[in-house]
Each structure stands twice: as C-alpha cells, then as structure tokens.
Amino acid sequence: MKQADLGLNLSTKRTRKREFLDEMNRVVPWAALVGLVTPHAPAGRRGRPPFPVETMLRIHFMQQWFGLSDPAMEEALFDVPLYREFAGLDNGNVRLPDESTILRFRHLLETHKLAGPMLATVNDVLRDKGLMLRIGTVVDATLISAPSSTKNDSGQRDPEMHQTKKGNQWYFGMKAHIGVDAQSGLVHTVKGTAANVNDVVEANGLLHGDETNAFGDAGYQGAHKRPDAKDGVTWHVAMRPGKRKALDKSTKLGALTDEIERLKASIRAKVEHPFRVIKRQFGFTKVRYRGLKKNTAQITTLFALANLWMARRELMGVGA
C-alpha cells in the first residue's frame, strides 16, 4: 500500500490550496448534489463508460474556485496531482477527462438549469444547520466586466451585455443581483441582467417571500412602490448621500437620523461579503462566456460555493 493511502506521505506539504480543498471537501454536500445531477446524466450504455457524476462535479467546482477554462482544467488534471486526488482520479486510472468531456458536463448543467437547484440544495443544508434565518434580506448588485473587443469570430461584442456609467467611469458587461440573509450574509437569490438594468428593477425579485424587512442602498429608493412590491415587507433604504451630508448633526433629530443611517449601513455591509469571496477568493472578475444565461449559471454556482466557504467553520464545527 502506498504511503499516501495511509496518510503518511511526509513529503506532501500542507499548502494553502490543499487546506482549501480539504475544507471544501468536508463542507460541500456531495451526496445531495450528486443526487440532483444524476437523473440528468447520460446512462453510458454505448461507447466508453462515463466518468462518475461526483468526479465531474468536483472538476466543475475546481474550475469555479481556481478560474480555469475547459482546456486549462484538462491540463491541470495532468499536471497537478492534488487536483486528481480531489477529483478521485488518483487510483492509477490512466484515463482523465478531456476538455470536451468537461464542456459537455457544464452544458448538461446549463441545459437542465441545475445551478439554481444547486444553490437551493446548499441553502437547505445551511438552514438545517441553523445558519440561515428568513426574517430579513439585504439586496445589492455588482458589475461584472465582459470583453469589449470585437476581435472575435462574430466581429461584435456580446449583444446581451451592455455598457453603463458608474460615477465617472463607463463599464461594459452584466450585473449580478443578489439577495442575502440579513443575519448571516449568505446568498439565497441570484439574478443576472445586462449592466444597464437599474438595481431597483430587480429589488423585489430578490426577496424569498418570508422576510418582513428588506435593506438596500440608495439605489433602491422607491422599491416599495413598484408594481411587484410584496405585502408585509418593510423596506429600509439608505438616504441619498447628499441628503445625509446635509443633516444638521448638532440637533437631536439630525443626530438620530444619522445614527439610524449608520445602523442600516452596518446591516447592509453583510451583502458585500459574498461579492468579496467570488471576486477575491475565487478570482471571478470577468465573465467567461457569451450570453447572460451561461454567465448567470456560473455566477449562481459561485455564490452557492461562496455560501459554503463563508459558513465552513460553522459547518465543520457541527460535524459536516
């Protein structure tokens, strides 16, 4: 038996990447996610036997964590023993998934719209562990850049993306709109739109329906007046920066109003954590595919994995 089989391979350094994969291996609900994907997987009655669903799911998640394209993921499986180990391909099997196999698995997830159910499955696990409440939601959106070059096969930019101006700078791409739990900061709803869609348009669609309070920055002014506003939800939206700056804090009313705005801001801060994880921890700063559908599916998967990353200590603490 190999030393690695006994966990006695002293030449293997406990790198940060290995620690990360070990932690995610412990907190990802593999059985539930495999059960979700398996009914849609090919039966493999003809040709070469397909790779196990769990193996392909592990490879798909590594693509999201490390920002790897399909060809780069294929090469990484050949070059990095740690990746083969995590995918369960370190048992002497010489056949590894090629980029076409990896692409087909991603297309399978997209075709059957499994990114949303995967997020829901992860959130069900988190809710069962008592890590998600349903009394308040914080909403926000972030811009995701898309290639603006026309040097491609079609000779044009992605028609589903759009440009928008934020401050004094123009951006081209899409927006990721999310609704997070006001207590834990875990994402429960994800929507993808072109970059020029106003934040308040998607505000009420980011609520799960059970909350009584919703929080948003100044861009969500008037959310409670929109046709899709939900009954029983009280919106706590930030004051316009100019109005807050004009407050006379020397008066009791001005000081109290400013303190209320500060408290609302402290709650809204929870929504920034998932954005930080996917952009800084997972390195997702630019869309990889053309079209909103594919990119929204990837973003939804990223936020599901971000939830597990943010809750990993609690999950490992309760025996995940």
Residue 14 CB-density burial (10 A; 0-12 exposed, 13-18 middle, 19+ buried) = exposed
pLDDT, averaged across the chain: 89
Angle (nearest 5°) at CA 179 between 175 and 181 = 150
pLDDT attached to residue 99:
95
Nearest residue to 304 (alpha-carbon basis) of 59, 87, 29: 29
The pLDDT tens digits of the residues spanning 200-255 come to: 999 999 999 899 999 999 999 999 999 999 999 999 999 998 888 898 889 999 99
- State how far Cα 267 lies from the chain centre: 20
SS (H, E, C) the chain: CCHHHHCCCCCCCCCHHHHHHHHHHHHCCHHHHHHHHHHHCCCCCCCCCCCCHHHHHHHHHHHHHHCCCHHHHHHHHHHCHHHHHHHCCCCCCCCCCCHHHHHHHHHHHHHCCCHHHHHHHHHHHHHHCCCCCCCEEEEEEEEEECCCCCCCCCCCCCCCCEEEEECCEEEEEEEEEEEEECCCCCEEEEEEEECCCCHHHHCHHHCCCCCCEEEECHHHCCHHHCCCCCCCCEEEECCCHHHHHCCCCCCHHHHHHHHHHHHHHHHHHHHHHHHHHHHHHCCCCECCCCCHHHHHHHHHHHHHHHHHHHCHHHHHHCCC
pLDDT attached to residue 147:
87
Nearest residue to 108 (alpha-carbon basis) of 53, 71, 63: 53
Distance CA 5, CA 125 (A): 30
Single-letter residue type at 310: M
Per cent of the chain over pLDDT 90 is 72
pLDDT attached to residue 3:
45
The pLDDT tens digits of the residues spanning 163-191 come to: 998 888 899 999 999 999 999 999 999 99
Q: Compute φ and ψ for 128, nearest 5 degrees.
A: -65, -30
pLDDT attached to residue 145:
93
Distance CA 250, CA 265 (A): 21
| Residue 124 scores a pLDDT above 60 | yes
The larger pLDDT score, comparing residue 44 to residue 173, is at: 173
> Residue ranges of the domains in the chain?
3-111, 133-296
| Residue 20 scores a pLDDT above 90 | yes
| pLDDT band (50, 70, 90) for residue 320 | very low
| Cα-based distances in Å from 276 to 64, 142, 269, 302 | 15, 11, 11, 12
Whether 237 and 200 have beta carbons less than 8 Å apart is answered as: no
